[in-house]
Structure 1
């Protein structure tokens, strides 16, 4: 179908050219055989339009070049942008009109609800044309403007021609950040009360004492020698370590609207934590994606983290029965880091994957983002309960009022 359309467009140009020549020949023949003022007036009146149409037909649109000028090539989501387009040519051929179509990147096309931004100019003999357009609110992401279509023709519409011009310009739009009243992981660290605490749950950790067994204690931490003395089950107390590391894991399997909220939230956490001197690692995966930003610290790292989150994209949700659930390799996660999982997918295999990743060594926060009217279904309730029972701090985020999280919730 596309081939047929291209073939018809190609022949249409030549058919119009043939029609133009026939009209010119017919008016001349009529004047020659009919004679008189009226017939020759008709011919000479049509002649300038025909000659102009022939000139447009032979004039190459490859003479045009396009340059895009942008003040700020790095913006924040929600910022307006003014794109200036400069069109140049070498030959001062008179052009009656020039239709300009800016073909928008895919994400802007979805946001604005249209494929292109159009404008018409009347160049005349000018060799340089400048025009600009404004986009009021830019969405997060890396946007590439690379296609501009120009169209022109004669005054009578007998000859029309167009050309697609490549002119690349990239705009990086960083995610917006908002102040968050973060508790526990970030709040206490900021106030100097303590850093993020965790207990090492392995056999090589330093044992600091013995206590009575409590329901929920793992079998691996039971002190069997003390328990064998007949005074009841005893559990080892481990040395408490301190760290300000946290590792942010973003599940990209998400719908577009929810995903943007997830990224804004994640960017806000990263900015606050890094500004306060904490260490941050980032991983974005799911749906075939696997992007990693190693653990770093310092205010200078904020821009790199925001740059990382500007480029990640939502991917379609996969079937929950699939055995492939993406988690980063454990070698990339510091042994003392808290894991913060940001997701809009919640089911048992997913939660199991992250509780296994935490392995009793890392503090685990799973933040489930959903629409404000969303009610947990049976599978999500099962996953939620499993996470709580296995030491994960579960939070359901339905709107921005829930963004002051990092505490276990009992409500659903």
Structure 2
């Protein structure tokens, strides 16, 4: 009942305020009877009548469209579009506030003064669009009278969605893969591997007890089973940290650069992203790349979890050579990687950092202490624009 009364009040509030002002000025003129009182009433009359006209005006009949001229695809690209407003009548509109309702940050309200004009074009531009999934939901237009007493608002649903992938760079893929290619041991064609966990799903009748993910079950309060991958003729596995906030954007950019590289596609590399959940698509080659890029576009760091914890739960076949992509080297991670290596397998750690950054003193000590020749460490520097660095800095 309260909600119903609130809706009625919101619709009638401006009419009620306008009626009160009219009644007050007219009553004052009638009872006072002097020149000043009647002058006050007649002075307000045109403003009041215009306010009545604004409240009665069919704003929803306006034709509003959005024309996207330049749509971003990768982080750092430019976004440019125009909002076109067309109306049939030449009713004098003193002021109209136009706002794009979207999840784009810093989307300001634009004010136009069309007066008798029937057509208006409002340009929107954003010089730097960050990685993410964006939606333009609807456009709102609000009219106001000359004194700002009443307002009338209308919404025009114009949904549009686009994905901005991480920025890509030229990287030497062959050099980075060389460290583990010598130790690779491909899975034979048609031989299914059920030892690599690639995701989680709800428990289904027939699932083995050993496949239940007890940690995920405790979090979701329902039985959750692990999903195991089918890998055919895959030469190596890349496991990426999509948890740690340190140099997160640089890591996403590096992963996207690897995904779209022809050398990566030619070698048919399996990617396993350890983030909110283990993610590894099992579809066609092109769909797999698209799904991974989409996942990277939407990924966000997780502050209350550690990559080492997720990496420990990943089960790999002993003969698999693999690459681990992180931005921070720890003794715990080195120990876990070495425990997953067999006699003939190799592993490589790619440490992704900002341009000009290197290993810290603590990381240098840890790397120098590695005894096994089967484990190599490479530092990759990814330069990002200033806008991304500002956003990244808030995550560090």
TM-score range, shorter chain: 0.5 to 0.7
Query: Aligned in 2, Cα 1:103/1:250: closer, same or farther, shift over 3 Å?
Result: farther
Higher relative contact order, chain-length normalized (CA < 8 Å, sep 6+): 2
Query: 1:185 deviation in Å?
Result: 4.8
Counterpart among 351, 366, 372 of residue 368 in structure 1: 351
Aligned length: 336
**Distance in 2 between residues matched to 1:387 and 1:166, nearest whole Å:** 59
TM-fit CA distance, 1:355: 4.0
Q: Distance in 2 between matches of 1:336 and 1:88?
A: 66
Q: Deviations over 1:84-124 (max 9, x none)?
A: 2234567765432111223452xx52xxxx3x222111234
Residue 384 to residue 64, structure 1, CA distance change in 2 (3 Å): farther
Q: CA deviation at 1:50?
A: 0.7
Corresponding residue of 1:307: 293
- What SS does the aligned partner of 1:314 have? coil
Shift of 1:21: 1.9
Task: Report matched runs for 1:41-52 at 5 Å.
Answer: 41-52=39-50
TM-superposition CA deviations, 1:310-335 (whole Å, max 9, x none): 5341222334598544765648xxx9
Match of 1:264 among 229, 241, 253: 253
**1:368 to partner: Cα distance:** 2.5
The match for 2:95 among 91, 94, 97 is 97
Residue of structure 2 in register with 1:79 after alignment: 77
**Equivalent in the alignment of 1:119:** 110
- Name 2:163's counterpart in structure 1: 172
Distance 1:49 1:329, change over 3 A: farther
72-81 or 56-65, which moves further after superposition?
Answer: 56-65
SS of the equivalent of 2:281 reads strand
Aligned to 1:293: 281
Q: How does 1:206-217 map to 2 (within 5 A)?
A: none
Q: How far did residue 374 of structure 1 move?
A: 6.4
Deviation at residue 52 of structure 1 after TM alignment: 1.7
SS at match of 2:128: coil
- C-alpha change, 1:280 and 1:128, in structure 2 (3 Å) is farther
Secondary structure of 1:253's partner? Answer: coil
For structure 2, the residue ranges without an aligned partner over 5 or more in a row are 187-232, 385-396
Q: How does 1:220-369 map to 2 (within 5 A)?
A: 245-255=235-245, 258-274=247-263, 277-286=266-275, 288-294=276-282, 304=290, 307-308=293-294, 310-320=296-306, 323-325=309-311, 330=316, 338-360=321-343, 362-369=345-352
Residues 187-227 of structure 1 deviation map (CA, whole Å, 9 limit, x = unaligned): 79xxxxxx9322659xxxxxxxxxxxxxxxxxxxxxxxxxx
Corresponding residue number in structure 2 for 1:157: 148
Native 8 Å contact 2:319 2:341 kept in 1: no
Higher Rg = 1
Query: In structure 2, how many angstroms separate the alpha carbons of the residues matched to 1:245 and 1:80?
Result: 38
8 Å contact 2:281–2:292 — kept in the other structure? no
Whether contact under 8 Å (2:351, 2:380) holds in the other structure is yes
2:117 is aligned with 1:134: no
Rounded Cα–Cα distance in structure 2 between residues aligned with 1:164 and 1:326: 51
Contact 2:352 2:379 in 1 (8 A): yes
Structure 1 stretches of 5 or more lacking a match?
A: 189-194, 202-242, 402-412
Shift of 1:34: 5.3
Aligned-residue Cα RMSD (Å) equals: 4.5
Q: Deviations over 1:326-366 (max 9, x none)?
A: 765648xxx98642221134434444444445545543211
Structure 2 contact 345–374 (Cα < 8 Å) conserved: no
SS of the equivalent of 2:108 reads: strand
Deviation of 1:245 (Å): 3.1
